[in-house]
C-alpha cells in the first residue's frame, strides 16, 4: 500500500539501498550479494516469517532481481551470485519476464472462497440460506456453514448478511490483475501467465507476502554514471510528492545531480509534444479515417488493447510516448549521452526494452528504486541549494493523473479547432479499460477520444510509487496550479515539434 511504511516496503527499500550503496562504493558485487542477506536479515531469529533461512533466501532472490537477473529454480543447484559479474555493467536491458513470483515466498492464498466468520449471529431470518442459489448453506449448531463443494462464489450471501459475517476472499494478486494473468501452479502457488501479463505491476503492489517483484537497473545506472558518460535523468510527471515534504520542486535538480546525474529534465515537456500530436491526429482522423482514437502514453493500457482487442489496434494513437519523446529531445541536444527515465511504472521498463526504443532510453528506474539511491548517498534535501527545473505546462504535468491526458488533448484541440467538440471517455485500471474497449468495439464510443490508464488513479498509483495516491494527486494539482503556461501552445519548447514526425512503429 502506497504511503504506508510496512514490513514489505522496508525490505524493498533496504534491497534498493544496499544495491545502490554497493555500486557507489565500488565493492565486489559478486561477494557482496552473498553477504547482503545476512546484513539485511541479521541475527539468529526470524523477524517476518517462520524461518530466518527462508527470509534470507527470499532476500537473495530479491537482490538478484534488483540486479536484473532471473530468479533461480529451487530444484536446481545455482549459486546466489551466478551471473552477477556479467550483469554488473554500464549497459544492460531488461529481459523477460519482468514481473516474477518468488515461489517459496508465496502464501498459496486460495483463489476464491466465501467463508463464514465468527461474527455470525445465528439469526432467526437466515437470509444467507434463503438467497443461496445452490443451497450450499446450512445451519449447524446455530451458525451458518458453507459447503465448499456446492458454493459457486456468487457472493449473494455476502450481500444478504446484516452482520457482514460472511466474506468473499480472493487471492490479492489475482484480484487486481485486469488481464487475468494470475493462475495457480500444481503446488497451489501463484504463477503469472506471461502471455497475458502486461507488466503493470499491480500484483506486485497487492501481494501482502512480498512474493512478487520486478527486475531493476539500479546497479547498471550507477555504473554508467561512474563511467564518465553524461547520464541525464528524465523524471515523469507523477514525481510530485513522491520523495517527502522536504524534497520540494526546486530541490529536485540538485538532488539528482548529487546522485551523479548530469542534469534532470521533466518528462512533462515530452507530454506536451505528445499532446499536440494526439490532438492533431484526432482532428484529422476521427471520424473520417477512424471511428475513435485511443491515447498511447500508458504501455500497460496499449499492450492490453493489442492483446485483447487486436482488431482495434489501428485506433490507438501512433504518437510517441512522453518518455520516448523526452529521451529523443535530450539526445538531440546532448549527443553521446545516456538517458534514465525515472517514473512510477513497471511497464515502462518493458517499453524501454523494445529494440526500437533502446536508442532513446537507456535505463528505467522507479521512484522507489531512486529513493534507495538517495538513501545510499545519504542525501538530505534540506542541505541542498535551490535550482528549479525546466518549465513544462500545466497540461503536461497533468498526465500523471487519471483523465489528465484526455484533458490535455481536448485543451490543445480547442485551440487548434475552436468549433470542434471532442467527446471523451476514460478508464483507469485494466479491468475498467477492458470494459471501455468492449463498448468501443460495439460502436458505443464512435467519435470519442478514449484515455486508458493501467493503474487505478493514473500514473500516481503506479507500482513504483512511494506516496499515497490521494496525496500525490493533490501535489500534481498544486504543481499544475503554480504553472504559468497552461497548454502546449504556450510551451517554451515548441522548437522540438519536428520530433513528432517520427512515429511509433507499434
Q: Which residues pair with 232 in a beta bridge?
A: 263, 339
Coil, strand, or helix at residue 431? helix
Over residues 218-233, the mean pLDDT reads 98
Residue 263 forms part of a structural domain: no
Confidence of residue 502 (pLDDT cuts 50, 70, 90): low
Q: Is the pLDDT of residue 505 over 50?
A: no
Looking at the structure, do residues 51 and 162 belong to the same domain, yes or no?
A: no
Give the whole-angstrom CA distance, residue 461 versus residue 467. 9
Residue 155 forms part of a structural domain: yes
* DSSP string across 363-385: EEEEHHHHHHHHHHHT--GGGSP
Looking at the structure, do residues 46 and 98 belong to the same domain, yes or no?
A: yes
Give the whole-angstrom CA distance, residue 137 versus residue 139. 7
Over residues 360-381, the mean pLDDT reads 97
Instruction: From 170, 194, 210, give the residue that closes a domain.
Output: 170
Residue 11 forms part of a structural domain: yes
Q: Which position has the higher pLDDT, 239 or 500? A: 239
Residue 184 forms part of a structural domain: yes
Residue pLDDT, tens place only, 371-415: 999 999 999 998 999 998 878 999 999 999 999 999 999 999 999
Looking at the structure, do residues 64 and 185 belong to the same domain, yes or no?
A: yes
Residue 210 forms part of a structural domain: yes
Give the whole-angstrom CA distance, residue 350 versus residue 364. 9
Confidence of residue 506 (pLDDT cuts 50, 70, 90): very low
Looking at the structure, do residues 88 and 124 belong to the same domain, yes or no?
A: no
Residue pLDDT, tens place only, 420-439: 999 999 999 999 999 999 99
pLDDT of residue 477: 96
- Percent of the chain at pLDDT > 70 equals 98
Question: How many domains are there within the chain?
Answer: 2
Looking at the structure, do residues 24 and 163 belong to the same domain, yes or no?
A: no
Give the whole-angstrom CA distance, residue 381 versus residue 128. 56
Confidence of residue 498 (pLDDT cuts 50, 70, 90): confident
pLDDT of residue 365: 98
Q: Is the pLDDT of residue 260 over 70?
A: yes
Flag the least confident range among 36-40, 111-115, 301-305, 363-367: 111-115
The answer to whether the Cα torsion of 208, 211, 216, 218 is positive or negative is positive
Give the whole-angstrom CA distance, residue 26 versus residue 444. 58
Looking at the structure, do residues 21 and 94 belong to the same domain, yes or no?
A: yes
Looking at the structure, do residues 12 and 85 belong to the same domain, yes or no?
A: yes
Residue 466 forms part of a structural domain: no
Looking at the structure, do residues 184 and 118 belong to the same domain, yes or no?
A: no
Residue pLDDT, tens place only, 167-217: 999 999 999 999 999 999 999 999 999 999 999 999 999 999 999 999 999
C-alpha cell at 280: 492533431
Over residues 474-495, the mean pLDDT reads 92
Looking at the structure, do residues 38 and 100 belong to the same domain, yes or no?
A: yes
Half-sphere exposure of residue 463: CA atoms within 13 angstroms, side-chain side: 31
Q: Is the pLDDT of residue 499 over 80?
A: no
Give the whole-angstrom CA distance, residue 364 versus residue 92. 11
Q: Is the pLDDT of residue 300 over 80?
A: yes
Over residues 113-132, the mean pLDDT reads 95
Residue 46 forms part of a structural domain: yes
The CATH code of the domain that includes 166 is 3.30.70.20
Looking at the structure, do residues 69 and 195 belong to the same domain, yes or no?
A: yes
Looking at the structure, do residues 80 and 194 belong to the same domain, yes or no?
A: yes
Enumerate residues 6+ apart whose C-beta is below 8 A from 307: 179, 196, 198
Chain position carrying cell 496499449: 302
Residue pLDDT, tens place only, 303-320: 999 999 999 999 999 999
Q: Is the pLDDT of residue 455 over 50?
A: yes
CA 131 to mean position of chain CA atoms: 40
Looking at the structure, do residues 26 and 161 belong to the same domain, yes or no?
A: no
Residue 317 forms part of a structural domain: no
Q: What angle do CA 182, 307, 408 make, to 5 degrees?
A: 105
Range of the domain at 129: 112-170
Amino acid at each position: 500500500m502506497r504511503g504506508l511504511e510496512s514490513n514489505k516496503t522496508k525490505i524493498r527499500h533496504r534491497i534498493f539501498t544496499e544495491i545502490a550503496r554497493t555500486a557507489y562504493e565500488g565493492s565486489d558485487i559478486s561477494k557482496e550479494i552473498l553477504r547482503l542477506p545476512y546484513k539485511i536479515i541479521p541475527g539468529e531469529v526470524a523477524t517476518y516469517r517462520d524461518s530466518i533461512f527462508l527470509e534470507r533466501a527470499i532476500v537473495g532472490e530479491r537482490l538478484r532481481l534488483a540486479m536484473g537477473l532471473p530468479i533461480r529454480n529451487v530444484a536446481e543447484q545455482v549459486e546466489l551470485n551466478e551471473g552477477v559479474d556479467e550483469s554488473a555493467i554500464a549497459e544492460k536491458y531488461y529481459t523477460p519476464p519482468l514481473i516474477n513470483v518468488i515461489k517459496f515466498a508465496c502464501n498459496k492464498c486460495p483463489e476464491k472462497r466465501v467463508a463464514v466468520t465468527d461474527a455470525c449471529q445465528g439469526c432467526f431470518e437466515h437470509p444467507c440460506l434463503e438467497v443461496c442459489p445452490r443451497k450450499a448453506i446450512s445451519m449447524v449448531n446455530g451458525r451458518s456453514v458453507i459447503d465448499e463443494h456446492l458454493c459457486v462464489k456468487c457472493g449473494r450471501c455476502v450481500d444478504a448478511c446484516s452482520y457482514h459475517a460472511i466474506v468473499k476472499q480472493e487471492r490479492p494478486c489475482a484480484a487486481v490483475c485486469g488481464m487475468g494473468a494470475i493462475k495457480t501452479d500444481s503446488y497451489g502457488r501463484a504463477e503469472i501467465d506471461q502471455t497475458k501479463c502486461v507488466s503493470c505491476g499491480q500484483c506486485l503492489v497487492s501481494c501482502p507476502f512480498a512474493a512478487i517483484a520486478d527486475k531493476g537497473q539500479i546497479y547498471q545506472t550507477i555504473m554508467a554514471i561512474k563511467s564518465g558518460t553524461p547520464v541525464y535523468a528524465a523524471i515523469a510527471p507523477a514525481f510530485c510528492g513522491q520523495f517527502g515534504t522536504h524534497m520540494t520542486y526546486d530541490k529536485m535538480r540538485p538532488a539528482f545531480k548529487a546522485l551523479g546525474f548530469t542534469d534532470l529534465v521533466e518528462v512533462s515537456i515530452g507530454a506536451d509534444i505528445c499532446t499536440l500530436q494526439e490532438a492533431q491526429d484526432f482532428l484529422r482522423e476521427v471520424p473520417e479515417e477512424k471511428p475513435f482514437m485511443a491515447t498511447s502514453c500508458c504501455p500497460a493500457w496499449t499492450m492490453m488493447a493489442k492483446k485483447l482487442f487486436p482488431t482495434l489496434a489501428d485506433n490507438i494513437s501512433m504518437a510517441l510516448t512522453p518518455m520516448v519523446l523526452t529521451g529523443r529531445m535530450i539526445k538531440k541536444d546532448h549527443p553521446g549521452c545516456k538517458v534514465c527515465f525515472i517514473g512510477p511504472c513497471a511497464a515502462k521498463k518493458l517499453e524501454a526494452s523494445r529494440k526500437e526504443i533502446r536508442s532513446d532510453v537507456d535505463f528505467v528506474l522507479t521512484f522507489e528504486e531512486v529513493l534507495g539511491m538517495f538513501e545510499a548517498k545519504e542525501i538530505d534535501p534540506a542541505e541542498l541549494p535551490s535550482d528549479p527545473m525546466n518549465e513544462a505546462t500545466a497540461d503536461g504535468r497533468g498526465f500523471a493523473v487519471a483523465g489528465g491526458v484526455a484533458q490535455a488533448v481536448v485543451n490543445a484541440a480547442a485551440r487548434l479547432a475552436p468549433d470542434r467538440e471532442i467527446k471523451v471517455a476514460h478508464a483507469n485500471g485494466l479491468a475498467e479499460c477492458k470494459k471501455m474497449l468492449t463498448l468501443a468495439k460495439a460502436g458505443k464510443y464512435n467519435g470519442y477520444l478514449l484515455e486508458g490508464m493501467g493503474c487505478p488513479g493514473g500514473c500516481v498509483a503506479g507500482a513504483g510509487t512511494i506516496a499515497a495516491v490521494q496525496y500525490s494527486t493533490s501535489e500534481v494539482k498544486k504543481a499544475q496550479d503554480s504553472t504559468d503556461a497552461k497548454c502546449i501552445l504556450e510551451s517554451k519548447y515548441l522548437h522540438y515539434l519536428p520530433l513528432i514526425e517520427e512515429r511509433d512503429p507499434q
